[in-house]
């Protein structure tokens, strides 16, 4: 399994598991739990969730899946911006811990910018670190100007990761944000790396993948993982889907393939606002 290194030196899997919509359908419970556990078995030990996903149902399902395996998992969750005051962040974290059935979250993120001053949210994160309820904190959907503002507040430079939308059709971060983070040792965590499966229907991607003897999903994920400072957290709905994703971590793309992907999915030619889903 490829890895990335957090600013404090901890090494974690570069390919993890997303859980957006996981927990929404009670009929999918056993299948989702099986898929998450299969991912852990294959080294995809980073599991990403959020209090927003299913209004906590995703966290509950993740908690069920990792019961008895907590120490094998690097657990990521997020606080909504509306809850990101000092007291609100601490209360939200405690609620997430209860749903997850654990005593700590490995990486706790601010889901996106809101009206609460960043200094207040950072102070809450640091208090949670001191209490042992979270091990690292980070942000999500932060552009360069947001990151620079974050670095200007007390303790803001302790940010451990920035989770953003990044895939072959959403390449705007390559203009400035990706390098800004890399130069400071802050990993980028790519969500929706296959554009919620829409990329898998792209004829050009499918043709390139077929020529390489791999799936379109594997090609899209291997492309994200080509950057040593970038992670991917695809969601999988079955164990077979998980296994297909996991194989992407072993694929090294040739320069010819990368150039072919650039011709099919053009890199950015100017600065663009950060995209979100």
Our answer to whether residue 53 is catalytic in this structure is: yes
Give, in degrees to the nearest 5, the angle at Cα 237 between 236 and 238: 100
Do 79 and 114 contact (CB within 8 A), yes or no? no
pLDDT of residue 153: 97
- The Cα 162–Cα 134 span in angstroms is 16
Give, in degrees to the nearest 5, the angle at Cα 5 between 95 and 152: 70
Could you tell me which residues come within 8 angstroms of residue 201 by beta carbon, excluding any fewer than 6 positions away?
A: none
pTM for the model stands at 0.95
List the domain boundaries for the chain.
12-199+228-249
- The Cα 216–Cα 202 span in angstroms is 8
pLDDT of residue 1: 80
| Mean pLDDT across 238-244 | 93
| Mean pLDDT across 102-116 | 97
Structure tokens given for 224:
């994200």
| Mean pLDDT across 105-120 | 97
| Mean pLDDT across 221-239 | 94
Share of the chain above pLDDT 70, in %: 100
pLDDT of residue 248: 95
Structure tokens given for 179:
């390098």
Q: Looking at domain 12-199+228-249, does it have CATH number 3.20.20.100?
A: yes
Question: Among the options 53, 108, 166, 191, which is catalytic?
Answer: 53
- The Cα 32–Cα 235 span in angstroms is 10
């Amino acid at each position: 399994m490829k890895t990335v290194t957090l600013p404090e030196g901890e090494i974690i899997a570069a390919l993890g598991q997303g859980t957006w919509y996981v927990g929404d359908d009670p009929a999918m419970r056993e299948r989702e739990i099986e898929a998450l556990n299969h991912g852990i078995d294959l080294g995809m030990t980073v599991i990403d969730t959020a209090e927003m996903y299913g209004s906590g149902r995703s966290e509950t399902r993740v908690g069920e899946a990792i019961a008895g395996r907590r120490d094998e998992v690097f657990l990521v969750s997020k606080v909504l911006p509306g809850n990101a005051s000092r007291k609100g962040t601490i209360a939200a974290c405690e609620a997430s811990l209860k749903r997850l059935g654990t005593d700590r979250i490995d990486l706790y993120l601010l889901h996106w910018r809101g009206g609460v001053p960043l200094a207040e949210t950072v102070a809450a994160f640091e208090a949670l670190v001191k209490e042992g309820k979270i091990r690292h904190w980070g942000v999500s959907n932060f552009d360069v100007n947001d990151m620079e503002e974050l670095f200007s507040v007390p303790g803001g430079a302790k940010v451990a990761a920035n989770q953003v939308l990044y895939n072959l059709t959403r390449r705007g971060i390559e203009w400035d944000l990706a390098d800004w983070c890399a130069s400071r040792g802050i990993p980028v965590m790519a969500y929706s790396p296959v554009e919620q499966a829409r990329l898998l229907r792209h004829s050009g991607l499918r043709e390139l993948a077929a020529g390489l003897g791999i799936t379109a999903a594997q090609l899209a994920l291997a492309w994200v993982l080509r950057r040593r400072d970038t992670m991917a957290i695809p969601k999988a709905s079955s164990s077979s889907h998980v296994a297909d994703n996991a194989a992407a971590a072993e694929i090294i793309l040739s320069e010819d393939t990368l150039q072919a992907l650039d011709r099919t999915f053009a890199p950015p030619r100017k600065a663009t606002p950060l995209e979100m889903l």
